Structure 1
Amino acid sequence: MGKDMVKRNTPQTEEILFQSLDFIPIPILLSESHINQSSGKIKRIHCFMNRAFIEQIGYTITDIPDIDAWFNTVYPDAVVRQAMIDGWEAEVKRSLAAGIKTAEMQARIRCGNGEFRWFVITAQISTDNLSDLHVVTMRDIHDLQTLIEENTRLSYTDMLTGLANRREAEKVLTQLIIPAHQTDAKVSLLMCDVDFFKTINDTYGHLCGDEVLVQIATTLEKFTHQASCIARWGGEEFLIILRHSSLDIAYQLAEYIRCEIASTSFHYQEHQLNLTVSLGCVSVQHNESVRSALYRVDKALYRAKLEGRNRVMIG
């Protein structure tokens, strides 16, 4: 019949219900509440899975006979598992307080084939009829959730380099500067520009220019652990936001980046490119605005370009 049911004496109405649920194309799980006589705790025992559940989720009652086995199986990571248990408990309390008979959450679970997929899980938490049975339905939203996540990622990511984009950098900087004014925490900025980038485009073509930006971004990503944000600011410019960093520390990092890029051999097809960068370096002043800090670091970068490139200037 395509169902997996614990062998037990069931009323005829339940048997008819099970047969009917087997033809519904969304995964459905039925469970019973059992009270442990010694501890008084209620445990959910699974008693039926319809055909869609077994085919789409990939488990049988033998695999997940009760709610504990469910959490242990579909959330193999202990931290994630506890977060989901806590989330469900909070959702159940919220629903009960609102007089709602169901609790619902989005969840990313591990299916029987090892794949992780997103579902909306709706669990019946109280019933008027057949009070010993609770219905759980699952709607597959994996493709939609993946699309949403990808669109969200693209909204703050530079498509060429994979770094944060300008909008995300401004957001991060704003979030850092406001509390920094209240606590006197140091926030510093580095603005990095690829020297003679127009010559690279004119000599080797824009595809080469794009590859140079990607390789520069890869080099800058080595310093991710030291930065709150590394972003492509625009064109051949990159912005690095440093939290809890004095001007001296920021300058030392800027010099390290400059030397790292100058000593790295960059390649495009059969061409070897020896690249350098110029950098501006500033520390955000007390009560300084985002616009003012960005203006000063850009001005410092401009001075570095004017004074011969391949250098760091403090603003």
Structure 2
Amino acid sequence: MLTFMNNETENNADQQQTRVISLFSLVGMSMTFMMGFISLFNSNHELTITLFFASMIYCFAYISLKKYHTLKLSSYITIYSLYLLMFYLVFTGGVEQTGPLWIFIVAPVSVYILGLTSGLINLAFFLTVIAIIIFLPTDSIPHVTYSMEFKLRLILSFLTTTFLSALYEYLRMISFKSALELSKKYQQLALSDPLTKLANRRNALTILQQEKSRTSRNDDPLSILLCDLDHFKMVNDKYGHNCGDMVLTELAQVFTKSVRQQDCVARWGGEEFLFILPQTSAEQAFVIAEKIRINVQRHSVYCHEQDISLTMSIGISQLTDNQTIDEMINNADRYLYQAKKNGRNQVYPQ
């Protein structure tokens, strides 16, 4: 259950990134399309074709993400098409040599889409290409020229933007990890018993409902054990509640070691415990119950220089057709009462 909820948290992060990439692709498509029309009216045909082509690429990334959910592919298309567009604007100067002003959007987009480390590596590559373009001699390849002061300030400004974007992304990552850890902590508190660290009653009912649904689909047996520590009140009265808590904590570990990996152990309330045994018939559950009962009987808890030993009574119930969870638990409770009535330290029905 915890793994499922943790995956849900991570999936929410992917959904958030999907929304951001989708929004950026949509904005990029709209902006380049609008600027392409402006260039068309200004008779700048080369820039018009470039901007319309960029708009088509962003449109493809948007449709691919929305229809086929290709997050990684759409991310790469978005970021690297942006790089190519920036290279072109810096090389040609854009409209009245304002093209280089657009490169400042690259830094925050890169570190967010590609992550901090990969984003910085790609930004280093991006800045290297930009520097080559602006310092490239015009006699080798004709391109727009910029003053030396503009070139240096452009690079320094971009480095400053990159540093601030990286710092923001780093702080965002720390904040996200802290929120994720806090979410996991609260999820664990909501689903587990604070003393024994076993599943709590609410979690056990959720798991039972899931197992019941799976049983209905696969036609597998499902059994539960409802257990109660015999004369546990005497432990609290004689040795104190601290010793009682120690007994519950140690026996919880005994329970966990006595069952299979697919089984679930929950603290049902007080000194009562519920064992959920998927793919287990009543006959198989009896074998497991006997193993648990014997392990509890053999285990002693050392507290206040005293060895405390307890026994356990167990009721078994197997899910039958058209039976509800409540009816199944009530049957186990009735059998538990019968086990106690028969003298305790036993499993019923035998």
TM-score by length of 1: 0.60
- With over 3 angstroms needed to count, the CA separation of the structure-2 counterparts of 1:310 and 1:100, relative to structure 1, is farther
**In 1: Cα distance, 2:87 partner to 2:337 partner:** 74
Structure 1: gaps spanning 5 or more residues: 1-82, 104-121
1:289 — aligned with what? 324
Which one of the candidate residues 228, 253, 278 is aligned to 1:193? 228
2:111 — aligned with what? 136
Deviation of 1:176 (Å): 0.8
**In 2: Cα distance, 1:294 partner to 1:131 partner:** 69
If each structure's strand is expressed as a fraction of its own residues, which one has the higher value?
1
- With over 3 angstroms needed to count, the CA separation of the structure-2 counterparts of 1:177 and 1:291, relative to structure 1, is same
**In 2: Cα distance, 1:147 partner to 1:204 partner:** 36
**In 2: Cα distance, 1:173 partner to 1:147 partner:** 27
2:208 — aligned with what? 173
TM-score by length of 2: 0.55
**In 2: Cα distance, 1:199 partner to 1:193 partner:** 14
Contact 1:227/1:240 (8 A) holds in 2? no
Greater Rg by CA: 2
- With over 3 angstroms needed to count, the CA separation of the structure-2 counterparts of 1:131 and 1:216, relative to structure 1, is farther
2:185 — aligned with what? 150
**In 2: Cα distance, 1:292 partner to 1:100 partner:** 57
1:127 — aligned with what? 82
How many pairs does the alignment contain? 212
- With over 3 angstroms needed to count, the CA separation of the structure-2 counterparts of 1:100 and 1:238, relative to structure 1, is farther
2:37 — aligned with what? none
- With over 3 angstroms needed to count, the CA separation of the structure-2 counterparts of 1:208 and 1:186, relative to structure 1, is same
**In 2: Cα distance, 1:184 partner to 1:100 partner:** 52
- With over 3 angstroms needed to count, the CA separation of the structure-2 counterparts of 1:305 and 1:100, relative to structure 1, is farther
| 1:124-178, Cα deviation, whole Å (9 max, x unpaired) | 6353862585621421222222111100111100000000000000000001112
| 1:63-103, Cα deviation, whole Å (9 max, x unpaired) | xxxxxxxxxxxxxxxxxxxx99xx79x95997389636699
1:241 — aligned with what? 276
**Percent of residue pairs identical:** 35
2:347 — aligned with what? 312
Which amino acid in structure 1 is aligned with residue 277 of structure 2?
A: L
**Is 2:206 the partner of 1:206?**
no
Which amino acid in structure 1 is aligned with residue 191 of structure 2?
A: Y
Secondary structure of residue in 1 paired with 2:199:
coil
If each structure's helix is expressed as a fraction of its own residues, which one has the higher value?
2
**Is 2:26 the partner of 1:99?**
yes
Question: Which range moves more in the overlay, 293-302 or 129-138?
Answer: 129-138
Which amino acid in structure 2 is aligned with residue 130 of structure 1?
A: M
